[in-house]
């Protein structure tokens, strides 16, 4: 039993911290977010140079073969910088699928991810499905060696930047069946795909994706036809674990910034941090943060456990993170007073990102239901 | 104890409903529903206020002699309730509810004559110059100064969070005229023509990122602005007294009718939102419990309001108890905004900069989702402004509980 | 529209206040609670002398014909004194049934209530039923002109003091059916009734009641056979409205006592009421109280409304009162520190009564479900 | 980062489990389950502690040379966890965890020899004399005084909330020996034989009304009590330093194993409790969500504890962060007690004065309901004692956040 980080892990953390310090102060981030592209390809290449894009892939696939703890470290530090480059989307989520794909697929796709050439996005959500990963109306019908995909995927994070998409679709079964779900790798420029790209409130980009008779070769099916549900849940749990890490990164900055602000901002002749009510609010923010760190460690340490243990861990962690994200985010704004309301300060942007994380892969109610059903 | 309205008051209520039906056009409703911060362009505000003016209802809180509506206490409550129930725009408060009462109480006859009619007819748009970058909750520490130059004041400094200053013709300001030991002393209340030389208005973009000119707040800079002495209200260095008087008018709105409206809207959304498990959100026990708890809180609020209203109409003075309304009203509103974001799940994510812009393509997600996240972000202000809720609790603690 | 009290109502309030002042300070109450009897029959007679026991009954029945607002005033003031004499049980609840009973029943029973001779209790709860008034295993079977009752009624408040019981029992239908429930008036000393009496944590008395072949004449059936469900719900709603009033009485004392204590108790060189965190806690207690008062007025003003409006009012009010009871009760103890923990101070007794009120006629979860089902 | 235990530690865990199985008798379990305040009669405490003493496990936190268990950091965690999981009684802290560390650190050799062995073997029962009626959170303001009378002190005053003083042979007290400007100065730490002339112990009955002699706390009165000077710890007027040192030992317990136990118990109760609508409480969405949220909070707590434990075993100093444990641990415990009362609905109402009394009739309601309400009432103390949670938050604010 040990909760300390290895030297190698600490080194990794320092690397990311330097990157944030040099390339991701608030002004630089604002520039990136407001740019035409919405992300900075140079950063992505730098991630590749630093080896970050190969972190979770096996050495056989050209990666570094690291586990969830290393991903947690990277993403936590990214969270501190509100990094918009789609690391979780491409590396944790799509990477999570790909590292379990066939050898042929792995050798075809992973190298271009590691080299920073290709960005990937996971298109799973549909308007009617809310957080149910199995509620799919997107259909894939087999036609010879191909599948023909039709459907609508909404709010696909990072899609505007992606070369490839992983799309969940129904090959059989009823709308909400667990059985009959398949995963496909699609070129974004395949004929029949149309995207509507837009910015998101937290400084990222996403797309609405319409699939009209998109032809995909069966070589691009991940795993067995109709059997993807379990894999999707697993990868989503891993993504939740990463999102939790991103959240604690953001929370830590928000807490520090708030404490710092309250030490310097004076009202009624003293720093507002001298008012006991604000002190206790910040103590509660701190406690929420510490509990969130704990749950983030917990879920990342339990990702390899068997199904129900892992599911409970992921849902439990997400419940805590959602609660803390709301409390810390809202409190930080409140304690900054008017200044918390301007878009010119970083505080609001952390708040907005945390608000969106509450919703990502399911909110509190959703995960309490999941938790209850696994308990 | 009696809940019902008299026949006469019921008649009045019908008159109000009738007015709203005729005057609160679909175009206005649409525009308001597209607003990320609750404000629309100046023209629409003016149009609405003109209609009220014509009807004689523009100033329910003014005394009849100055052009007030002459409502009874019950009528005032009915009027406000009906307006909020329909989501009709509130009148812009800076002229009608803020500077006007001060002018009436402390202004000279010339000032009354010069300013009040134009406020009543919305010919002149006012904004409020109170907060400064260093003085938020602690107004008494303000720095913006007005030096006595014989027949005018020379004003230098800056005011922040000035709502809709981009439209304003006049601003009423608290300025420092004397340096004293006690910071509350030495503050004066003056009126400044916004077209004066040396004034600059800069937009402040807030969390929801409403673009200029629809943005909500500004910073106003004063550089050697000359203000004629006749624009001083009351006595020099007594501004704090007038400001406190004014604060009484800021509080005591009825929140519940608007909140009922919001909770009903959200109920409609929940009927329309699939859970992903074959039902709609309205059938989701967890969500609906939160919504119903909210509604119960609103009802508790409504009956606090009714009790305050009843005390007022019985001629009692209602003081700091009304801080309860500020606290609960804004906190329930924020809760509803939170729940709304929760309801629309994925659709909370897309960012639309200018929701008023005439886009040819349909909006991303359902129409009702368009402004929900911006309203949530923007709504965080309500527990900060007009005396933060922490300050309100301090007030209750001191003035009601005697702590 | 008017929220003021009439002169008559104010007079009534003053009467009760004088009674509390003269007869119900904390020491006197403790003496009553600790006495063999557990209540003071002299007080009950005094209530009769003051006309309180005839309040809700019609003038034809020998009462004063007052409505819920007068009951609210009485019970609120009783709440301030933590009065244990069973006013709600006898007058509001059992009285609520009796005033709607047949003329024969009214003339037989009401005068003895008004005169203070008879105390009544309502035996409705059963171990398996939780808060569902319709979940009944107590059975009444018709035998000629009589009914034979068998069953078990638990935690029957005020039963040890009562001469008469009103018992709900099933004359037909399944265990939880709305149809088939009947109400019977029982002499407590009827053969076949056995009681186990005990004190309650909040200073009252209650009984477990076993009914074994208890014979009741059909003259003692209230209303129509099998049709009592609606009436029970109505009377329980009226009882909820009264309990809310009792609760705000208790809350007001608790709030005042706490503010007073914090003004005088010194720690770290100043009254603890100078600490902002405690100030804001007390402000929140005050706000919870004000909201509870509002909801109590609301429900008492809406008791005459049609079914669903009344039900929503009762459940909404109870939700608010439960929430406030918990928050105010717990906060009062916390703010009193160690002193809040002793049984020798009144604070703890208010806390305990409020805790039990949370549970009376259904807790928050129960009433949120009721509210949702009527919404 | 690693969650698992080494084989060696797993072996140790089995040993602990084995010990508990053999030593924690059904009679003890039954008695504890009947307690309204978590305490049982002296004999049972002593019996339990003697067993631990024989096993060499009575003092996990003592250094080996004084008879400590010599556990590694992990073993200590495992030991504590296993004990709490089974609901085994905690050792009475006043001797072992409170006065002993002070004697070891600041006592004379004679004091060590005289007191430590008897503490280890539970021959002597200690209690703590800190709080006074006027000094709760603000200990420094204490009034109980010890006058220097040459070779003895004359002690006059009173101590309150002295837990299980009815059983105590000795009491350690903070007393005022000098009047000074700064209240923290002038306080001394002395040991007093409870059989001294002039001491009176009066029971204080708390909310749950546990009757004497099972009651929890007392007030202790000192009237001209003579205390030999050799019973002074360290230097006169330095008592505050020793008390602060001791406070470090009061914090930092692992709460989560006991809380897991409580949440599991409650789950069992929920399985057994009908809702009145044809299901059991375990199937009630509202209730189960609250229970699961509680469990999630416990898990968050568990991993905070694990992180602190890990830092400790890596030799890091863990200071005021452990105030988090006090706050969260007691608050979650209270939440569970609240939910338990909620679960049993009607059965929360009956009052049983002496739950230990051998009654012939069955209890009212299910057996498990017997102590739930008393535990809820009694449990309110936990956020008050040992530094109220408000004080803990002050500590975190100052020492961790630097505010």
What is the percent of chain D where pLDDT is above 70?
A: 98
Give B 263-292 residues with CB within 8 A of chain D. Answer: 285-286, 289
pLDDT band for B61, please (50, 70, 90 cuts): confident
Q: Which two tokens stand for residue A224?
A: 């067995």
User: C-alpha angle A191/A195/A198, rounded to 5°?
Assistant: 160
pLDDT band for B132, please (50, 70, 90 cuts): very high
Report the C-alpha gap between C344 and D258 in whole angstroms: 31
Other Cβ atoms less than 10 A from the Cβ of A171: the count is 22
Arithmetic mean of pLDDT, B42-54: 96
CB within 8 Å: A297 and D307 = yes
Report the C-alpha gap between C148 and A237 in whole angstroms: 61
Chains adjacent to A (≥3 CB pairs closer than 8 angstroms):
B, C, D
Domain ranges of chain D: 7-91, 125-242, 252-400
**A110 within 8 A of A99, measured Cβ to Cβ:** yes
Picking from A4, A9, A302, the nearest residue to D310 by CB comes out as A4
pLDDT tens sequence across D164-194: 999 999 999 999 999 888 888 999 999 999 9
Tell me, what's the pLDDT at B312? 80
Residues of B in contact with A128 (CB under 8 A): 274, 276
| Bridge partners for B69 per DSSP | none
CA dihedral over A92, A93, A95, A97, signed as positive or negative: positive
CB within 8 Å: B206 and A341 = yes
Preceding omega of A373 cis (within 30 degrees of 0): no
Q: Does the beta carbon of D161 lie under 8 angstroms from any beta carbon of chain C?
A: yes
Residues of A in contact with C272 (CB under 8 A): none
Tell me, what's the pLDDT at B362? 79
Buried b (16+ CB within 10 A) or exposed e, D283-293: ebbbbbbbbbb
CB within 8 Å: D292 and A372 = yes
Report the C-alpha gap between A332 and A260 in whole angstroms: 11
Task: State yes or no: pLDDT of B248 exceeds 80.
Answer: no
SS3 D221: strand
Q: Does the beta carbon of D1 lie under 8 angstroms from any beta carbon of chain A?
A: yes
What is chain D's Cα-based Rg?
A: 22
By the 10 Å C-beta count (0-12 exposed, 13-18 middle, 19+ buried), A178 is classed as: middle
A267 to chain B, closest Cα gap in Å:
5
List helix spans (H) across B180-284.
239-250, 256-272
DSSP letter string, C283-296: HHHHHHHHHHHHHH
Show contacts of D103-107: CB within 8 Å, 24+ apart: D103/D233, D104/D62, D104/D63, D104/D66, D105/D242, D105/D245, D106/D189, D106/D233, D106/D234, D106/D242, D106/D245, D107/D233, D107/D234
Report the C-alpha gap between A208 and A151 in whole angstroms: 11
Tell me, what's the pLDDT at D182? 87
**Minimum CA–CA partner of D211 in chain C:** C343
Closest CA to C78 of C41, C159, C34, C23: C23
Tell me, what's the pLDDT at B322? 81
List helix spans (H) across D121-209.
none
Picking from C3, C295, C368, the nearest residue to B292 by CB comes out as C368
Residues of B in contact with A338 (CB under 8 A): 131, 136, 160-161, 381, 384-385
Q: Given phi > 0 = left and psi -120 to 50 = alpha, else beta, which region is B386? A: left
| Bridge partners for A183 per DSSP | A168, A222
Task: State yes or no: pLDDT of B252 exceeds 60.
Answer: no
In a mutational test of the C interface, the residue from D210, D218, D275 whose CB has the highest number of chain C CBs within 10 Å is D275
Report the C-alpha gap between B98 and B116 in whole angstroms: 12
Report the C-alpha gap between D167 and D127 in whole angstroms: 8
Crossing angle for the helix pair C364-374 and B285-313, nearest 10 degrees? 90
Tell me, what's the pLDDT at B251? 52
Q: Which two tokens stand for residue B38?
A: 């609750």
φ/ψ of B233, rounded to 5, equals -95, 130
CB within 8 Å: A371 and D390 = no
Picking from D276, D347, D350, the nearest residue to C132 by CB comes out as D276
The residues near B14 (Cβ < 8 Å, ≥ 6 apart) are none
Q: Does the beta carbon of C301 lie under 8 angstroms from any beta carbon of chain D?
A: no
Out of 3.40.640.10, 2.40.110.10, 3.30.530.20, 3.40.50.1240, the CATH code matching B125-242 is: 2.40.110.10
Residues of C in contact with D368 (CB under 8 A): none
SS3 D116: helix
pLDDT tens sequence across B74-131: 899 899 999 999 999 999 999 999 999 999 999 999 999 999 999 999 999 999 999 9
User: C-alpha angle C37/C41/C45, rounded to 5°?
Assistant: 170
Report the C-alpha gap between C182 and C169 in whole angstroms: 5
Tell me, what's the pLDDT at D267? 98
By the 10 Å C-beta count (0-12 exposed, 13-18 middle, 19+ buried), B156 is classed as: middle
Residues of A in contact with B137 (CB under 8 A): 267-268, 337
pTM of the model: 0.97
Residues of B in contact with D286 (CB under 8 A): 285, 289
Q: How many residues does chain A have?
A: 375
φ/ψ of C200, rounded to 5, equals -110, 160
SS3 D349: coil
A276 to chain C, closest Cα gap in Å:
6
Q: Which two tokens stand for residue A361?
A: 């892969």
Domain A121-226 has CATH 2.40.50.40: no
Tell me, what's the pLDDT at B374? 98
Give A 269-288 residues with CB within 8 A of chain B. Answer: 269, 275, 277-278
Report the C-alpha gap between C59 and C117 in whole angstroms: 19
Q: How many CA atoms lie within 13 A of C301 on its CB side?
A: 17
pLDDT tens sequence across B300-311: 999 999 998 888
Q: How far is CA C26 from CA B96, D151, D203, D219, in A?
A: 54, 48, 20, 22
Task: State yes or no: pLDDT of B313 exceeds 90.
Answer: no
Beta strand C146-157 with C139-143 is antiparallel
Q: Which range, of A276-280, B354-358, D146-150, D259-263, averages the lowest pLDDT?
A: B354-358
D324 to chain C, closest Cα gap in Å:
18
Q: Which two tokens stand for residue A226?
A: 């109709």
**D5 within 8 A of A1, measured Cβ to Cβ:** yes
Tell me, what's the pLDDT at D319? 76
pLDDT band for D131, please (50, 70, 90 cuts): very high
Give B 365-394 residues with CB within 8 A of chain A. Answer: 365, 373-374, 376-377, 380-381, 383-385, 388, 390, 393
Domain ranges of chain C: 7-118, 121-226, 230-374
**C258 within 8 A of C332, measured Cβ to Cβ:** yes
Chains adjacent to B (≥3 CB pairs closer than 8 angstroms):
A, C, D
Residues of A in contact with D289 (CB under 8 A): 368, 372
End-to-end CA distance of chain A: 25
Residues of D in contact with A4 (CB under 8 A): 1, 310, 314
**Interface ipTM above 0.90:** yes
- The CATH superfamily of D252-400 is Butyryl-CoA Dehydrogenase, subunit A, domain 3 (1.20.140.10)
Q: Does the beta carbon of C372 lie under 8 angstroms from any beta carbon of chain B?
A: yes
Closest CA to D403 of B311, B40, A265, A115: A265
Tell me, what's the pLDDT at B263? 97
CATH architecture of C230-374: Up-down Bundle (1.20)
Report the C-alpha gap between D143 and D174 in whole angstroms: 9
Residues of C in contact with D350 (CB under 8 A): 155, 198-201, 206
pLDDT tens sequence across D257-305: 999 999 999 999 999 999 999 999 999 999 999 999 999 999 999 999 9
Residues of chain C with pLDDT under 70: none
| Bridge partners for A2 per DSSP | D2
Q: Which residue has the tokens 């007080």?
A: C43
Task: Determine which helix (DSSP H) or strand (DSSP E) holds B327, and give its type and residue range.
Answer: helix B322-344
SS3 C201: coil
Q: Which two tokens stand for residue A216?
A: 């995909």
D328 to chain C, closest Cα gap in Å:
16
Tell me, what's the pLDDT at B249? 61
Report the C-alpha gap between D30 and B287 in whole angstroms: 42
Q: Which two tokens stand for residue D285?
A: 């969405």
Task: State yes or no: pLDDT of A233 exceeds 70.
Answer: yes
Out of 3.40.50.880, 3.30.70.240, 3.40.190.10, 1.10.540.10, the CATH code matching A7-118 is: 1.10.540.10
In a mutational test of the D interface, the residue from C124, C199, C338, C350 whose CB has the highest number of chain D CBs within 10 Å is C338
């Amino acid at each position: 039993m040990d909760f300390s980080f290895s030297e190698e892990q600490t080194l990794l953390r320092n690397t990311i911290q330097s990157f944030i310090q040099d390339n991701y102060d608030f002004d630089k981030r604002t520039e990136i977010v407001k740019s035409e592209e919405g992300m900075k390809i140079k950063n992505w290449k730098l991630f590749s140079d630093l080896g970050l894009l190969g972190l979770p892939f096996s050495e056989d696939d050209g990666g570094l073969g690291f586990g969830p703890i290393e991903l947690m470290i990277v993403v936590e530090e990214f969270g501190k910088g509100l990094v918009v480059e789609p690391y979780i989307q491409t590396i944790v989520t799509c990477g999570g699928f790909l590292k379990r794909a066939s050898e042929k697929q792995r050798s075809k796709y992973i190298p271009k991810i590691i080299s920073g050439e290709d960005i990937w996005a996971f298109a799973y959500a549909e308007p009617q499905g809310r957080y149910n990963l199995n509620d799919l109306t997107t259909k894939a019908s087999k036609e010879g060696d191909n599948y023909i995909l039709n459907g609508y995927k909404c709010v696909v994070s990072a899609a505007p930047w992606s070369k490839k998409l992983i799309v969940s679709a129904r090959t059989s079964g009823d709308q909400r069946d667990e059985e009959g779900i398949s995963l496909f790798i699609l070129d974004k420029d395949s004929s029949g795909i149309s995207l509507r790209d837009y910015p998101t409130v937290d400084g990222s980009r996403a797309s609405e994706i319409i699939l009209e008779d998109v032809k995909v070769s069966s070589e691009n099916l991940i795993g067995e036809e109709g059997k993807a549900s379990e894999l999707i849940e697993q990868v989503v749990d891993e993504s939740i674990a990463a999102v939790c890490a991103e959240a604690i990164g953001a929370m830590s900055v928000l807490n520090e910034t708030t404490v710092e602000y309250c030490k310097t901002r004076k009202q009624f002749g003293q720093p507002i941090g001298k008012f006991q009510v604000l002190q206790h609010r910040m103590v509660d923010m701190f406690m929420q943060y510490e509990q969130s760190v704990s749950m983030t460690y917990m879920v990342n340490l339990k990702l390899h456990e068997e199904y129900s243990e892992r599911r409970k861990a992921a849902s439990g962690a997400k419940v805590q993170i959602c609660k803390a994200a709301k409390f810390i985010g809202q409190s930080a704004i409140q304690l900054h007073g008017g200044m918390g309301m301007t878009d010119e300060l970083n505080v609001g942007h952390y708040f907005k990102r945390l608000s969106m994380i509450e919703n990502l892969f399911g909110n509190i109610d959703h995960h309490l239901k999941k938790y209850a059903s696994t308990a | 104890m009696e809940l019902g309205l008299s026949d006469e008051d019921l008649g009045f209520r019908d008159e109000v409903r009738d007015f709203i039906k005729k005057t609160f056009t679909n175009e206005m409703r649409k525009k308001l529903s597209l607003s990320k911060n609750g404000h629309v362009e100046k023209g629409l505000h003016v149009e609405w206020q003109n209609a009220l003016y014509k009807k004689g209802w523009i100033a329910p809180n003014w005394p009849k002699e100055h052009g007030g509506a002459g409502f009874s206490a019950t009528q005032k409550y009915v009027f406000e309730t009906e307006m909020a129930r329909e989501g009709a725009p509130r009148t812009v408060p800076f002229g009608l509810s803020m500077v006007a009462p001060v002018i009436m109480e402390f202004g000279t006859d010339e000032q009354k004559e010069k300013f009040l009619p134009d406020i009543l007819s919305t010919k002149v748009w006012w904004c409020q110059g109170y907060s400064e970058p260093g003085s938020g909750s602690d107004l008494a520490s303000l720095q913006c100064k007005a030096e006595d130059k014989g027949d005018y004041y020379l004003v230098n400094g800056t005011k922040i969070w000035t709502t809709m200053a981009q439209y304003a013709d006049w601003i009423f300001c608290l300025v420092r005229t004397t340096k004293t030991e006690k910071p509350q002393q030495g503050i004066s209340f003056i009126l400044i023509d916004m077209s004066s030389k040396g004034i600059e208005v800069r937009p402040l973009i807030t969390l929801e990122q409403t673009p200029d000119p629809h943005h909500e707040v500004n910073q106003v800079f004063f550089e050697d602005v000359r203000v004629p002495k006749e624009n001083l209200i009351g006595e020099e260095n007594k501004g704090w007294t007038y400001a406190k008087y004014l604060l009484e008018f800021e509080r005591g709105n009825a929140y519940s009718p608007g909140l009922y409206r919001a909770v009903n809207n959200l109920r409609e959304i929940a009927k329309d939102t699939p859970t992903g498990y074959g039902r709609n959100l309205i059938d989701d026990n967890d969500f609906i419990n939160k919504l119903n708890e909210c509604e119960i809180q609103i009802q508790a609020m409504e009956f606090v309001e009714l009790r305050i209203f009843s005390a007022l109409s019985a001629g009692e003075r209602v003081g700091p108890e009304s801080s309860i309304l500020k606290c609960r009203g804004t906190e329930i509103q924020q809760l509803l905004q939170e729940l709304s974001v929760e309801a629309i799940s994925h659709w909370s994510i897309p960012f639309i900069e200018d929701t008023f812009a005439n886009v040819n393509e349909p909006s991303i997600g359902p129409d009702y989702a368009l402004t929900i996240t911006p309203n949530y972000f923007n709504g965080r202000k309500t527990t900060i402004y007009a005396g933060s809720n922490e300050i309100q609790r301090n007030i209750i603690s001191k003035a009601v509980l005697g702590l």
